[in-house]
Each structure stands twice: as C-alpha cells, then as structure tokens.
Amino acid sequence: MGQKPPQPEDFQVSLKDYLFTSESVSEGHPDKVCDRISDTIVDLFLAADPYARVAVETLATTNFVVLAGEVRGPDHLTHDLFREKAREAIRDIGYEQHGFHWKDCEIISHIHSQSADIAVGVDAAGAKDEGAGDQGIMFGYACNETEELMPAPIQYSHRILKSLADARHGGQKLLGPDSKSQVTLRYVDGKPVGATSIVVSTQHAAAASTEEIRELVRPHVMAALPEGWMCPEEAFYVNPTGRFVIGGPDGDCGLTGRKIIVDTYGGAAPHGGGAFSGKDPTKVDRSAAYAARYLAKNVVAAGLAEKCVIQLSYAIGVSRPLSVYVNTFETGKVEEAKLSTVLQELMNLSPRGIREHLQLNKPIYARTAAYGHFGRTPEADGGFSWERTDLVSDLKSAFGA
C-alpha cells in the first residue's frame, strides 16, 4: 500500500507557545520627524477651520525638508507659515545638530489646492452624505495582554523609547533624538510571560562610551517591562554596531507614512496599508482605523472577547462602509455576526459619523506622530478619543452581560 500523503495538520505548529517581536522608533527617527511635520500642518489647518482638507507629505534629509500635498482651507495659511511650523516641530523634537538643525535647514513647500474632482466625490451636497476620501480597508485590534488592551511587544517597545525621550527632554545630554527599540517576548499558552531579547539603538553624544550608554538605557528598559520580565544579559543589545552619533535625517532620509506597523500593532494584527500622518479626518485611512480600534477596544473592555480584530472597507465618494468584519479568534463570548450588527447600531461608521462620534475635527494630531496612535490615554481636549471605553455598558446591555 502507498504511504498516506501529507495532511494539512502535518504542517501546522502550535500557536500557543512561541516568540513574537515588535519594534518602535522615536520621535527623532527620520520617518517620524516627517510624520510630526505633516501632522503639525494638519493641526494648523484644523485649528483655523475644523472642516479644512489636508493631505501633506514630508521628506527630510541632511539639512533639507520638502513639504508637498494638497489642502483646502483659509487663505491666510501660507507657505511661510508652513515653513515656520515645520521648524517649530523640528525644534520641539530636539534637532540642533550640524547636519540637521531647526534654525538653518532649508525648507521648501509645494503644498497646493485640493483637486476639484476629489472634492466633488467626497463633499456632502443636497441629499448626498459626505463620502469616503478614498477606497480602502482599515483594521482595528485590541487584546487583553496589557492594561492598555494592546499587544505587549509593541506597547513595551513604545514605553522604552518614550522613557528615554522624557529623560532627554528633561536634560540628559548624552542621548540624541533618534532611537529604535525592539522587544521579543515569549508566549506560553498564548500569553506573554517574559522577554527573551531586547534591542535598543539610541543616538548619543560622541564622547559617550558604549558601556556608558548601555547602563544609561538599562533602567528605562527595566521600568518599561513588568517585574521579572527582563531578558538574559547576553540578549540585551544596546547600540550593537558600537556607535550611533550621526542620526535623524542627517543619517537617513525620512518620509511621511513609512512606519505604519510601528504606528499600529507591531505586526500582531493586520494593517490595511494606509498611513495616518498628514491626513485630515475625512480620510478614512486615518479616521476609520481609529474607529475600528475604538470598537475593538470596547469589545475587549466589555469582556466579550480576549482579543478582537475589526475590518472596515470603503469606496471613494460612498458614505457607508461596504463591509464590517469582526473576528474574535475563538475567544469571543458572543456570536461575531451579531456583534458586527450591534457595533454598527452603536456607531455610525460613515466618515461624518466617525468624525462626529470621536470628535476628530480638532488640532489633536501632532501628538500622535510618535510612540503609537493606539494604547494612549484619552485627553481632556479630545486627543486620543478613540481610546475611550464608553461603549462598554451599551455592549454589555446588548448582550445581557
């Protein structure tokens, strides 16, 4: 008799015990410098007109910044003002280096008026509701691995770099603005239990030794992790190349929107592909991704699932989503199809409905440009409104929980 052919289960591996890695980059990373500048321009327009339209990209290299994109807003917002705001953003990050300095870097603005063809499809008119600014798919995710209901590897990666940035802004002269972190966690029975390796690369003063920077970084890493989670000493890598003095746009060209996995879930959940920074909230790449996170977080916060991913899809000029997909990865306590229906009853998922529910037409975006758009604390002025859990009681009531 012939041998039994391989079956699909022969190639499957356990999804309960594994290692998973995520990375973060700081506000001084060249791509994040660009995200910050682009979102600063978004805030500039929304502060002047809550219904302004903005889609601005930034490129940064050695002492040179280019702004490009299309806008619709008040005429008093000029190229000179765009350049001024870009300089302020660079100064706030902390760049005062020979190869990239907020005072003397050249800044060129090619921002122009929005296409009339896009405006016709997107704007509300008569009985027509405001349509999506583009087609696309957006994902939101939440899980119970951390108190922020975020995947642990990306959340701890962000914490490390935010702690280092706070120290630098507080006067630590040995640290530069550009840095990266990477956290690998061991999962047992599907739950994170500790770090197996940590990588931190941080720009530093030329006079600082590798060992000095290693010991400067160590307490920030340990404070970011739960007690007892520190990796073995031989797997703790700080500036593994040995030297990181030249950094930021002087060391590597930056562009808006190149760190979308850092911005979201560190690879632990799908991403639709659209970047967030530089876009006003009529762009569903941004607003619908925020809405999907908001809904997924409320599902997990309500105890209806241990983890939840939500996908929304849109067509340009069409107001309602084409699909609302919910997956609780067999951790859910309720039927996913009904959950999708209830979520759509609790929140209007048209572009206008999302903006109004989450109050997104505010200058709240520059602060999102580093350390993640999710897993943050909702703020009094409306910042990070998508991190609220104010649907929990309604969800519990809908399912009798």
* Residue ranges of domains in the chain: 18-25+152-246, 136-145+283-398
100 vs 29, 43, 91, 249, 264, CA distance in Å? 12, 24, 10, 7, 28
Ligand-binding site membership of 168 (annotated)? no
4 vs 287, residue with greater confidence: 287
User: Is 16 among the annotated ligand-binding positions?
Assistant: no
Question: What's the confidence (pLDDT) of residue 1?
Answer: 44
Residue 178 marked in a binding site: yes
Is the pLDDT assigned to residue 24 strictly greater than 60? yes
CATH number listed for the domain at residues 136-145+283-398? 3.30.300.10
Is 195 known as a binding-site position? no
Q: Is 180 annotated as a binding residue?
A: yes
The reply to whether 57 sits in an annotated binding site is yes
Which residues contact residue 387 at a Cβ distance below 8 angstroms, ignoring those fewer than 6 apart?
A: 148, 293, 294, 297, 374, 375, 376, 377, 378
Residue 283 marked in a binding site? yes
pLDDT reading at 356 higher than 90: yes
Q: Which residues of 2-20 are buried (b: 16+ CB within 10 A; e: fewer)?
A: eeeeeeeeeeeeeeeeeeb
pLDDT at 118: 58
Distance in angstroms (rounded) separating the CA atoms of residues 157 and 134: 32
Predicted pLDDT of residue 114? 82
User: CATH assignment of 18-25+152-246?
Assistant: 3.30.300.10
CA pair distance 37, 254, nearest whole angstrom: 11
Phi–psi pair at 160, nearest 5 degrees: -60, -50
Mean per-residue pLDDT for 124-136? 67
What's the average model confidence in pLDDT over 62-77? 97
Using CA atoms of 89, 91, 96, 102 in order, give the dihedral in degrees to the nearest 10. 60
Structure confidence at residue 117 (pLDDT): 58
Q: Is 92 annotated as a binding residue?
A: no
- Residue 367 marked in a binding site: no
Q: Under a CB-based contact definition with an 8 Å cutoff, are residues 287 and 63 in contact?
A: no
130 is in an annotated binding site: no
- Residue 297 pLDDT exceeds 90: yes
The two domains 18-25+152-246 and 136-145+283-398 share their CATH topology (first three levels equal): yes
Ranking 131-140, 268-277, 316-325 by mean pLDDT, the lowest is: 131-140
State residue 12's pLDDT score. 45
Q: What is the mean pLDDT of the chain?
A: 93
What's residue 120's pLDDT?
Answer: 54
Q: Please say if the pLDDT value at position 319 is more than 70.
A: yes
Q: Give the rounded percent of residues in the chain with a pLDDT score beyond 90.
A: 88
| 243 assigned ligand-binding residue | yes
Is 129 annotated as a binding-site member? no
User: What integer is the mean pLDDT of 377-388?
Assistant: 98
280 marked ligand binding residue: no
pLDDT of residue 401: 76
* Confidence (pLDDT) at 6: 55
Residues contacting 103, CB < 8 A, separation 6+ = 87, 91, 96
- Is the pLDDT reported for residue 345 higher than 60? yes
70 annotated to a ligand binding site = yes
Q: What is the mean pLDDT of residues 251-267?
A: 98
Give the pLDDT mean for 1-19. 60
Residue 130 is predicted with a pLDDT of 77
Alpha-carbon gap, residue 37 to 366, rounded angstroms: 8
Write the secondary structure of the chain as one string of H (helix), E (strand) and C (coil).
CCCCCCCHHHHCCCCCCEEEEEEEECCCCHHHHHHHHHHHHHHHHHHHCCCCEEEEEEEEECCEEEEEEEEECCCCCCHHHHHHHHHHHHHHHCCEECCEECCCCEEEEEEEECCHHHHHHHCCECCECCCECCCEEEEEEEECCCCCCCCHHHHHHHHHHHHHHHHHHCCCCCEEEEEEEEEEEEEECCEEEEEEEEEEEEEECCCCCHHHHHHHHHHHHHHHCCCCCCCCHHHEEECCCCCCCCCHHHCCCEECCCCHHHHCCCCCCCCCCCCCCCECCCCHHHHHHHHHHHHHHHHHHCCCCCEEEEEEEECECCCCCCEEEEECCCCCCCCHHHHHHHHHHHCCCCHHHHHHHHCCCCCCCHHHCCCCCCCCCCCCCCCCHHHCCCCHHHHHHHCCC
Taking residues 161-178, what's their average pLDDT? 98
